[in-house]
Structure 1
Amino acid sequence: MFTGIIEATGHLSNITRLGDDYQVEVTSTELDFSDVHLGDSIATNGVCLTVVSFTEQSFKADVSLETINNTGFKHYAAGQTVNLEKAMLPTTRFGGHMVSGHVDAVSHVQSVYDNGRAKDVWISVPAELQKYFVKKGSVTVDGISLTVNDVTDGQIKLTIVPHTFAQTTLAKVRTGDAVNLEVDIIARYVENFVSQNSGSSGVDMSLLARSGYLKK
Protein backbone atom coordinates (compact mmCIF):
# COMPACT_ATOMS: atom_id res chain seq x y z
CA MET A 1 0.00 0.00 0.00
CA PHE A 2 1.18 3.53 -0.85
CA THR A 3 0.13 7.11 -0.18
CA GLY A 4 0.78 8.70 -3.57
CA ILE A 5 3.38 11.08 -2.12
CA ILE A 6 6.38 10.69 -4.43
CA GLU A 7 9.72 10.21 -2.68
CA ALA A 8 12.02 10.51 -5.69
CA THR A 9 12.27 10.18 -9.43
CA GLY A 10 14.50 7.74 -11.27
CA HIS A 11 14.80 6.19 -14.68
CA LEU A 12 14.56 2.79 -16.32
CA SER A 13 18.23 2.06 -16.82
CA ASN A 14 17.65 -1.36 -18.38
CA ILE A 15 14.74 -3.37 -19.77
CA THR A 16 15.39 -7.06 -20.41
CA ARG A 17 12.84 -9.18 -22.26
CA LEU A 18 12.40 -12.62 -20.69
CA GLY A 19 10.03 -14.56 -22.89
CA ASP A 20 6.76 -12.63 -23.00
CA ASP A 21 7.48 -10.40 -20.04
CA TYR A 22 10.25 -8.09 -18.76
CA GLN A 23 12.74 -7.56 -16.02
CA VAL A 24 13.50 -3.89 -15.46
CA GLU A 25 16.24 -2.08 -13.59
CA VAL A 26 15.34 1.26 -12.03
CA THR A 27 18.14 3.63 -11.05
CA SER A 28 17.78 6.66 -8.78
CA THR A 29 20.31 8.84 -7.01
CA GLU A 30 17.49 10.44 -5.00
CA LEU A 31 15.72 7.42 -3.43
CA ASP A 32 16.97 6.17 -0.05
CA PHE A 33 17.76 2.47 -0.52
CA SER A 34 19.14 1.98 3.01
CA ASP A 35 15.95 0.27 4.23
CA VAL A 36 15.07 -1.63 1.03
CA HIS A 37 14.89 -5.44 1.26
CA LEU A 38 14.24 -8.27 -1.18
CA GLY A 39 10.51 -8.64 -1.73
CA ASP A 40 9.74 -5.01 -0.87
CA SER A 41 7.21 -3.12 -2.98
CA ILE A 42 8.17 0.09 -4.78
CA ALA A 43 5.57 1.99 -6.79
CA THR A 44 7.10 2.91 -10.15
CA ASN A 45 4.96 5.43 -12.03
CA GLY A 46 2.11 4.10 -9.93
CA VAL A 47 2.76 0.43 -10.68
CA CYS A 48 3.51 -1.77 -7.66
CA LEU A 49 6.74 -3.65 -8.41
CA THR A 50 8.48 -6.25 -6.23
CA VAL A 51 12.21 -5.86 -5.60
CA VAL A 52 14.13 -8.98 -6.72
CA SER A 53 17.59 -7.45 -6.31
CA PHE A 54 19.05 -4.06 -5.47
CA THR A 55 22.18 -1.95 -5.06
CA GLU A 56 22.78 1.36 -3.30
CA GLN A 57 21.21 3.26 -6.20
CA SER A 58 19.02 0.81 -8.11
CA PHE A 59 16.65 -2.13 -7.96
CA LYS A 60 15.43 -4.80 -10.34
CA ALA A 61 11.86 -6.06 -10.64
CA ASP A 62 9.93 -8.45 -12.83
CA VAL A 63 7.09 -6.99 -14.90
CA SER A 64 4.36 -9.49 -15.79
CA LEU A 65 2.55 -9.65 -19.11
CA GLU A 66 -0.60 -8.47 -17.29
CA THR A 67 1.21 -5.33 -16.14
CA ILE A 68 2.75 -4.72 -19.55
CA ASN A 69 -0.62 -4.94 -21.28
CA ASN A 70 -2.48 -2.70 -18.83
CA THR A 71 -0.01 0.06 -17.90
CA GLY A 72 2.41 2.47 -19.49
CA PHE A 73 5.11 -0.20 -19.35
CA LYS A 74 3.78 -1.36 -22.70
CA HIS A 75 5.36 1.76 -24.25
CA TYR A 76 8.30 2.45 -21.92
CA ALA A 77 11.86 2.29 -23.17
CA ALA A 78 15.23 2.50 -21.43
CA GLY A 79 15.75 6.04 -20.17
CA GLN A 80 12.09 6.57 -19.21
CA THR A 81 11.81 8.84 -16.16
CA VAL A 82 9.58 7.42 -13.42
CA ASN A 83 8.09 8.47 -10.09
CA LEU A 84 9.12 6.33 -7.11
CA GLU A 85 7.54 5.62 -3.74
CA LYS A 86 8.41 2.86 -1.28
CA ALA A 87 5.53 1.07 0.45
CA MET A 88 4.10 3.03 3.36
CA LEU A 89 4.94 2.21 6.99
CA PRO A 90 2.48 2.23 9.93
CA THR A 91 4.32 5.34 11.15
CA THR A 92 4.19 7.16 7.80
CA ARG A 93 2.36 10.49 7.61
CA PHE A 94 -0.66 9.78 5.45
CA GLY A 95 -0.24 12.83 3.23
CA GLY A 96 -2.04 11.50 0.16
CA HIS A 97 -4.70 8.78 -0.03
CA MET A 98 -4.84 4.98 -0.13
CA VAL A 99 -3.00 3.85 -3.28
CA SER A 100 -2.74 0.16 -4.17
CA GLY A 101 -0.34 0.43 -7.10
CA HIS A 102 -2.82 -1.46 -9.31
CA VAL A 103 -3.36 0.65 -12.43
CA ASP A 104 -6.91 0.79 -13.80
CA ALA A 105 -6.19 2.34 -17.19
CA VAL A 106 -3.73 4.22 -19.34
CA SER A 107 -5.18 7.66 -20.07
CA HIS A 108 -3.91 10.72 -21.93
CA VAL A 109 -3.32 14.37 -21.15
CA GLN A 110 -5.82 16.43 -23.12
CA SER A 111 -4.61 19.94 -22.29
CA VAL A 112 -2.36 21.91 -19.94
CA TYR A 113 -3.11 25.52 -18.90
CA ASP A 114 -1.36 27.99 -16.62
CA ASN A 115 -3.30 28.82 -13.45
CA GLY A 116 -1.22 31.36 -11.55
CA ARG A 117 1.96 29.55 -10.49
CA ALA A 118 0.09 26.24 -10.79
CA LYS A 119 -1.12 24.43 -13.90
CA ASP A 120 -4.50 22.93 -14.74
CA VAL A 121 -4.13 19.54 -16.41
CA TRP A 122 -7.11 17.87 -18.10
CA ILE A 123 -6.87 14.09 -18.46
CA SER A 124 -9.17 11.77 -20.38
CA VAL A 125 -11.19 9.21 -18.43
CA PRO A 126 -12.39 5.91 -19.93
CA ALA A 127 -16.19 5.66 -19.91
CA GLU A 128 -16.18 2.63 -17.61
CA LEU A 129 -14.23 4.57 -14.94
CA GLN A 130 -16.17 7.84 -15.11
CA LYS A 131 -18.44 6.84 -12.21
CA TYR A 132 -15.49 6.70 -9.77
CA PHE A 133 -14.62 10.39 -10.05
CA VAL A 134 -16.17 13.17 -7.99
CA LYS A 135 -15.18 16.79 -7.57
CA LYS A 136 -12.64 17.15 -4.72
CA GLY A 137 -12.13 13.39 -4.70
CA SER A 138 -8.79 11.63 -5.13
CA VAL A 139 -7.03 10.03 -8.10
CA THR A 140 -3.57 8.59 -8.70
CA VAL A 141 -1.75 9.69 -11.85
CA ASP A 142 1.61 8.01 -12.53
CA GLY A 143 1.74 7.22 -8.81
CA ILE A 144 0.97 10.79 -7.66
CA SER A 145 -1.95 11.41 -5.30
CA LEU A 146 -3.93 14.30 -6.76
CA THR A 147 -7.23 16.07 -6.11
CA VAL A 148 -9.90 16.06 -8.80
CA ASN A 149 -10.95 19.70 -9.19
CA ASP A 150 -13.55 19.22 -11.91
CA VAL A 151 -15.31 16.39 -13.72
CA THR A 152 -16.80 16.59 -17.18
CA ASP A 153 -18.00 13.92 -19.57
CA GLY A 154 -14.85 11.95 -20.35
CA GLN A 155 -12.33 14.19 -18.57
CA ILE A 156 -11.09 15.26 -15.15
CA LYS A 157 -9.21 18.43 -14.21
CA LEU A 158 -6.19 18.40 -11.89
CA THR A 159 -4.54 21.54 -10.53
CA ILE A 160 -0.83 20.88 -10.04
CA VAL A 161 1.03 23.09 -7.57
CA PRO A 162 4.67 24.13 -8.23
CA HIS A 163 6.13 21.71 -5.64
CA THR A 164 4.51 18.70 -7.33
CA PHE A 165 5.78 19.82 -10.72
CA ALA A 166 9.30 20.20 -9.36
CA GLN A 167 9.41 16.83 -7.58
CA THR A 168 7.69 14.51 -10.09
CA THR A 169 7.57 13.61 -13.76
CA LEU A 170 4.75 16.13 -14.22
CA ALA A 171 7.49 18.73 -14.73
CA LYS A 172 7.60 17.59 -18.37
CA VAL A 173 3.93 16.80 -18.93
CA ARG A 174 2.62 17.66 -22.39
CA THR A 175 -0.67 17.32 -24.26
CA GLY A 176 -0.98 13.79 -25.61
CA ASP A 177 1.24 12.17 -22.95
CA ALA A 178 0.08 8.79 -21.68
CA VAL A 179 -0.33 8.39 -17.89
CA ASN A 180 -1.18 5.54 -15.53
CA LEU A 181 -4.52 6.09 -13.82
CA GLU A 182 -5.73 4.48 -10.58
CA VAL A 183 -9.14 5.34 -9.17
CA ASP A 184 -9.77 5.75 -5.46
CA ILE A 185 -9.93 2.20 -4.08
CA ILE A 186 -12.55 3.24 -1.51
CA ALA A 187 -14.95 4.02 -4.37
CA ARG A 188 -14.52 0.49 -5.67
CA TYR A 189 -15.21 -1.04 -2.25
CA VAL A 190 -18.33 1.09 -1.81
CA GLU A 191 -19.59 0.07 -5.25
CA ASN A 192 -18.97 -3.61 -4.53
CA PHE A 193 -20.62 -3.43 -1.10
CA VAL A 194 -23.71 -1.74 -2.48
CA SER A 195 -24.02 -4.11 -5.46
CA GLN A 196 -23.64 -7.19 -3.23
CA ASN A 197 -25.97 -5.98 -0.50
CA SER A 198 -28.55 -3.93 -2.35
CA GLY A 199 -31.98 -4.58 -0.88
CA SER A 200 -30.76 -6.51 2.17
CA SER A 201 -29.02 -3.76 4.11
CA GLY A 202 -31.22 -0.82 3.22
CA VAL A 203 -28.25 0.80 1.46
CA ASP A 204 -28.63 1.13 -2.29
CA MET A 205 -27.70 3.54 -5.06
CA SER A 206 -30.93 5.49 -4.55
CA LEU A 207 -30.14 6.08 -0.88
CA LEU A 208 -26.60 7.21 -1.70
CA ALA A 209 -27.93 9.60 -4.33
CA ARG A 210 -30.48 11.10 -1.96
CA SER A 211 -27.77 11.51 0.68
CA GLY A 212 -25.50 13.42 -1.70
CA TYR A 213 -22.85 10.74 -2.19
CA LEU A 214 -23.45 10.36 -5.91
CA LYS A 215 -23.16 12.95 -8.63
CA LYS A 216 -26.53 13.62 -10.26
Structure 2
Amino acid sequence: MFTGIVEEVGRVEHVQSGKLTIRADRVLEDMHVGDSININGACLTVTTFDASSFFVDIMPETARRSNIGQLKTGDSVNLERALAFGGRLGGHLVQGHVDAIGRLASIRWEGDTLVLEVEAPPEVMRYVVEKGFVAVDGLSLTVVDRRATSFSVSIVEYTRTNTTIGDRYVGDAVNLEADILAKYVEALTRPESSGITEEFLREHGFLVS
Protein backbone atom coordinates (compact mmCIF):
# COMPACT_ATOMS: atom_id res chain seq x y z
CA MET A 1 0.00 0.00 0.00
CA PHE A 2 1.18 3.52 -0.82
CA THR A 3 0.14 7.13 -0.17
CA GLY A 4 0.49 8.70 -3.62
CA ILE A 5 3.19 11.08 -2.37
CA VAL A 6 6.16 10.69 -4.72
CA GLU A 7 9.49 10.43 -2.91
CA GLU A 8 11.75 11.02 -5.88
CA VAL A 9 11.98 10.88 -9.65
CA GLY A 10 14.09 7.97 -10.90
CA ARG A 11 15.45 7.29 -14.36
CA VAL A 12 15.17 4.16 -16.48
CA GLU A 13 18.69 2.84 -17.08
CA HIS A 14 17.87 -0.33 -18.97
CA VAL A 15 14.88 -2.17 -20.43
CA GLN A 16 15.09 -5.78 -21.53
CA SER A 17 12.63 -8.68 -21.82
CA GLY A 18 10.18 -7.56 -19.16
CA LYS A 19 12.84 -6.26 -16.80
CA LEU A 20 13.60 -2.70 -15.73
CA THR A 21 16.67 -1.15 -14.18
CA ILE A 22 15.90 2.12 -12.39
CA ARG A 23 18.53 4.58 -11.22
CA ALA A 24 17.50 6.13 -7.91
CA ASP A 25 18.82 7.59 -4.69
CA ARG A 26 16.43 8.13 -1.80
CA VAL A 27 14.30 5.01 -2.27
CA LEU A 28 17.44 2.85 -2.08
CA GLU A 29 17.73 3.68 1.63
CA ASP A 30 16.92 0.56 3.66
CA MET A 31 15.85 -1.29 0.48
CA HIS A 32 15.53 -5.08 0.56
CA VAL A 33 15.00 -7.71 -2.10
CA GLY A 34 11.27 -8.40 -2.23
CA ASP A 35 10.23 -4.87 -1.30
CA SER A 36 7.25 -3.36 -3.07
CA ILE A 37 7.85 -0.08 -4.86
CA ASN A 38 5.44 2.15 -6.74
CA ILE A 39 6.74 3.05 -10.21
CA ASN A 40 4.44 5.47 -12.05
CA GLY A 41 1.50 4.07 -10.11
CA ALA A 42 2.29 0.38 -10.60
CA CYS A 43 3.35 -1.75 -7.64
CA LEU A 44 6.42 -3.78 -8.63
CA THR A 45 8.76 -6.02 -6.64
CA VAL A 46 12.47 -5.35 -6.18
CA THR A 47 14.41 -8.38 -7.43
CA THR A 48 17.88 -7.01 -6.71
CA PHE A 49 19.67 -3.69 -6.22
CA ASP A 50 23.09 -2.06 -5.91
CA ALA A 51 24.44 1.27 -4.67
CA SER A 52 22.80 3.33 -7.41
CA SER A 53 20.01 1.26 -9.00
CA PHE A 54 17.34 -1.34 -8.42
CA PHE A 55 15.80 -3.97 -10.67
CA VAL A 56 12.20 -5.11 -11.14
CA ASP A 57 10.32 -7.57 -13.37
CA ILE A 58 7.26 -6.48 -15.35
CA MET A 59 4.44 -9.00 -15.35
CA PRO A 60 2.37 -9.32 -18.58
CA GLU A 61 -0.74 -8.06 -16.74
CA THR A 62 1.13 -4.92 -15.64
CA ALA A 63 2.33 -4.28 -19.18
CA ARG A 64 -1.23 -4.63 -20.52
CA ARG A 65 -2.96 -2.41 -17.97
CA SER A 66 -0.36 0.35 -17.58
CA ASN A 67 2.17 2.46 -19.46
CA ILE A 68 5.05 0.61 -17.75
CA GLY A 69 5.52 -1.55 -20.83
CA GLN A 70 6.08 1.61 -22.90
CA LEU A 71 9.03 2.85 -20.84
CA LYS A 72 12.38 3.24 -22.58
CA THR A 73 15.91 4.01 -21.49
CA GLY A 74 16.25 7.57 -20.21
CA ASP A 75 12.59 7.99 -19.20
CA SER A 76 11.84 9.57 -15.82
CA VAL A 77 9.53 7.73 -13.42
CA ASN A 78 7.77 8.56 -10.15
CA LEU A 79 8.96 6.45 -7.23
CA GLU A 80 7.47 5.73 -3.82
CA ARG A 81 8.30 3.08 -1.25
CA ALA A 82 5.52 1.14 0.45
CA LEU A 83 3.69 2.80 3.33
CA ALA A 84 5.08 1.87 6.75
CA PHE A 85 2.48 1.21 9.43
CA GLY A 86 2.47 4.16 11.81
CA GLY A 87 3.70 6.51 9.08
CA ARG A 88 1.86 9.63 7.97
CA LEU A 89 -0.75 9.28 5.24
CA GLY A 90 -0.16 12.45 3.25
CA GLY A 91 -2.26 11.54 0.21
CA HIS A 92 -4.74 8.68 0.09
CA LEU A 93 -4.53 4.89 0.10
CA VAL A 94 -3.04 3.82 -3.22
CA GLN A 95 -2.68 0.12 -3.96
CA GLY A 96 -0.40 0.36 -6.96
CA HIS A 97 -2.89 -1.71 -8.97
CA VAL A 98 -3.45 0.30 -12.15
CA ASP A 99 -7.10 0.17 -13.25
CA ALA A 100 -6.60 1.57 -16.75
CA ILE A 101 -4.58 3.89 -18.96
CA GLY A 102 -5.89 7.43 -19.44
CA ARG A 103 -4.88 10.17 -21.87
CA LEU A 104 -4.09 13.82 -21.23
CA ALA A 105 -6.81 15.71 -23.11
CA SER A 106 -5.67 19.23 -22.24
CA ILE A 107 -3.13 21.15 -20.19
CA ARG A 108 -3.71 24.75 -19.14
CA TRP A 109 -2.58 27.28 -16.58
CA GLU A 110 -4.87 28.94 -14.06
CA GLY A 111 -2.65 31.53 -12.43
CA ASP A 112 0.27 29.61 -10.91
CA THR A 113 -1.59 26.29 -10.99
CA LEU A 114 -1.36 23.71 -13.76
CA VAL A 115 -4.69 22.08 -14.60
CA LEU A 116 -4.74 18.73 -16.41
CA GLU A 117 -7.80 17.20 -18.03
CA VAL A 118 -7.58 13.42 -18.21
CA GLU A 119 -9.72 11.24 -20.46
CA ALA A 120 -10.55 8.01 -18.67
CA PRO A 121 -12.49 4.83 -19.51
CA PRO A 122 -15.82 3.96 -17.81
CA GLU A 123 -14.21 1.52 -15.36
CA VAL A 124 -12.39 4.48 -13.81
CA MET A 125 -14.96 7.26 -14.32
CA ARG A 126 -17.61 5.35 -12.35
CA TYR A 127 -15.54 5.97 -9.21
CA VAL A 128 -14.52 9.58 -9.93
CA VAL A 129 -16.30 12.33 -7.99
CA GLU A 130 -15.55 16.02 -7.62
CA LYS A 131 -13.27 16.62 -4.61
CA GLY A 132 -12.53 12.90 -4.47
CA PHE A 133 -9.15 11.23 -4.93
CA VAL A 134 -7.59 9.58 -7.96
CA ALA A 135 -4.05 8.37 -8.57
CA VAL A 136 -2.42 9.57 -11.81
CA ASP A 137 0.98 7.98 -12.55
CA GLY A 138 1.20 7.22 -8.84
CA LEU A 139 0.36 10.75 -7.63
CA SER A 140 -2.48 11.24 -5.18
CA LEU A 141 -4.54 14.05 -6.73
CA THR A 142 -7.87 15.72 -5.96
CA VAL A 143 -10.51 15.91 -8.68
CA VAL A 144 -11.56 19.52 -9.29
CA ASP A 145 -14.01 18.85 -12.11
CA ARG A 146 -15.77 15.81 -13.54
CA ARG A 147 -17.32 15.35 -16.97
CA ALA A 148 -18.87 12.33 -18.70
CA THR A 149 -15.61 10.88 -19.97
CA SER A 150 -12.92 12.99 -18.30
CA PHE A 151 -11.86 14.67 -15.08
CA SER A 152 -9.54 17.55 -14.18
CA VAL A 153 -6.89 17.86 -11.47
CA SER A 154 -4.83 20.83 -10.27
CA ILE A 155 -1.07 20.56 -9.93
CA VAL A 156 0.74 22.87 -7.50
CA GLU A 157 4.25 24.13 -8.19
CA TYR A 158 6.00 21.67 -5.84
CA THR A 159 4.30 18.65 -7.41
CA ARG A 160 4.97 19.92 -10.92
CA THR A 161 8.70 20.34 -10.31
CA ASN A 162 9.29 17.25 -8.13
CA THR A 163 7.45 14.60 -10.15
CA THR A 164 7.15 13.63 -13.82
CA ILE A 165 3.71 15.23 -14.19
CA GLY A 166 5.15 18.59 -15.23
CA ASP A 167 6.88 16.98 -18.21
CA ARG A 168 3.70 15.50 -19.68
CA TYR A 169 2.14 16.58 -22.99
CA VAL A 170 -1.35 16.43 -24.45
CA GLY A 171 -1.97 12.90 -25.72
CA ASP A 172 0.43 11.23 -23.26
CA ALA A 173 -0.70 8.00 -21.61
CA VAL A 174 -1.02 8.06 -17.81
CA ASN A 175 -1.69 5.27 -15.33
CA LEU A 176 -4.97 5.63 -13.43
CA GLU A 177 -6.11 4.04 -10.19
CA ALA A 178 -9.53 4.82 -8.74
CA ASP A 179 -9.99 5.32 -5.00
CA ILE A 180 -10.30 1.91 -3.31
CA LEU A 181 -12.78 3.39 -0.80
CA ALA A 182 -15.16 4.20 -3.67
CA LYS A 183 -14.93 0.56 -4.78
CA TYR A 184 -15.77 -0.62 -1.26
CA VAL A 185 -18.79 1.68 -1.11
CA GLU A 186 -20.02 0.33 -4.43
CA ALA A 187 -19.63 -3.25 -3.24
CA LEU A 188 -21.43 -2.58 0.03
CA THR A 189 -24.35 -0.77 -1.60
CA ARG A 190 -24.79 -3.06 -4.62
CA PRO A 191 -28.36 -4.45 -4.39
CA GLU A 192 -27.43 -7.96 -5.44
CA SER A 193 -24.43 -8.10 -3.14
CA SER A 194 -24.30 -8.98 0.53
CA GLY A 195 -21.22 -6.78 0.93
CA ILE A 196 -17.49 -7.44 0.69
CA THR A 197 -16.98 -10.90 -0.73
CA GLU A 198 -13.98 -13.11 -1.37
CA GLU A 199 -14.45 -12.48 -5.10
CA PHE A 200 -14.34 -8.69 -4.59
CA LEU A 201 -11.21 -8.89 -2.44
CA ARG A 202 -9.49 -11.11 -5.00
CA GLU A 203 -10.51 -8.83 -7.90
CA HIS A 204 -8.95 -5.81 -6.22
CA GLY A 205 -5.73 -7.45 -5.16
CA PHE A 206 -6.27 -8.13 -1.46
CA LEU A 207 -6.24 -11.91 -2.00
CA VAL A 208 -4.10 -13.96 -4.33
CA SER A 209 -4.71 -17.43 -5.68
Answer whether TM exceeds 0.5 for this pair. Answer: yes
Q: Distance in 1 between matches of 2:94 and 2:191?
A: 23
Matched residue of 2:84: which SS? coil
Report how far residue 75 of structure 1 moved: 1.7
Q: Distance in 2 between matches of 1:128 and 1:33?
A: 34
Q: Distance in 2 between matches of 1:189 and 1:98?
A: 13
Query: What residue is the counterpart of 1:170 in the other structure?
Result: 165
Q: Distance in 1 between matches of 2:154 and 2:142?
A: 8
The residue type equivalent to 1:28 in the other structure is A
Matched residue of 2:190: which SS? helix
Q: Distance in 2 between matches of 1:89 and 1:128?
A: 29
Report how far residue 27 of structure 1 moved: 0.7
Unaligned runs of 5+ in 2: 196-209
Kept after mapping to 1: 8 A contact 2:9/2:24: yes
Given candidates 172, 181, 187, the residue that maps to 2:176 is 181
Measured against aligned partners, the alpha-carbon deviations of 1:157-188 in whole angstroms (never above 9, x if no partner) come to: 10100010011001212111110000001111
Paired positions, count: 195
Q: Distance in 1 between matches of 2:29 and 2:68?
A: 26
The residue type equivalent to 1:170 in the other structure is I
Q: Distance in 2 between matches of 1:103 and 1:69?
A: 10
Matched residue of 2:126: which SS? helix
Matched residue of 2:182: which SS? helix
The residue type equivalent to 1:8 in the other structure is E
Given candidates 24, 27, 34, the residue that maps to 2:23 is 27
- After TM superposition, the structure 1 stretch with the greater mean CA deviation from structure 2, 180-189 or 67-76, is 67-76
Q: 1:129 and 1:32, CA in 2 relative to 1: closer, same or farther beyond 3 A?
A: closer
Measured against aligned partners, the alpha-carbon deviations of 1:45-103 in whole angstroms (never above 9, x if no partner) come to: 01101011011221101111111111102322111110000001113211000000000
1:137 aligns with 2:132: yes
Matched residue of 1:66: which SS? helix
Q: Distance in 1 between matches of 2:19 and 2:73?
A: 12
1:148 aligns with 2:147: no
1:86 aligns with 2:113: no
Unaligned runs of 5+ in 1: 202-216
The residue type equivalent to 1:167 in the other structure is N
Query: What residue is the counterpart of 2:50 in the other structure?
Result: 55
Report how far residue 197 of structure 1 moved: 6.0
Given candidates 107, 113, 119, the residue that maps to 1:112 is 107
Matched residue of 1:132: which SS? coil
Matched residue of 1:60: which SS? strand
Matched residue of 1:166: which SS? helix
1:101 aligns with 2:103: no
The percentage of aligned residue pairs carrying the same residue is 40
Matched residue of 2:28: which SS? coil
Query: What residue is the counterpart of 1:3 in the other structure?
Result: 3
Kept after mapping to 1: 8 A contact 2:114/2:156: yes
The residue type equivalent to 1:114 in the other structure is W
- After TM superposition, the structure 1 stretch with the greater mean CA deviation from structure 2, 32-41 or 45-54, is 32-41
Q: Distance in 2 between matches of 1:162 and 1:176?
A: 22
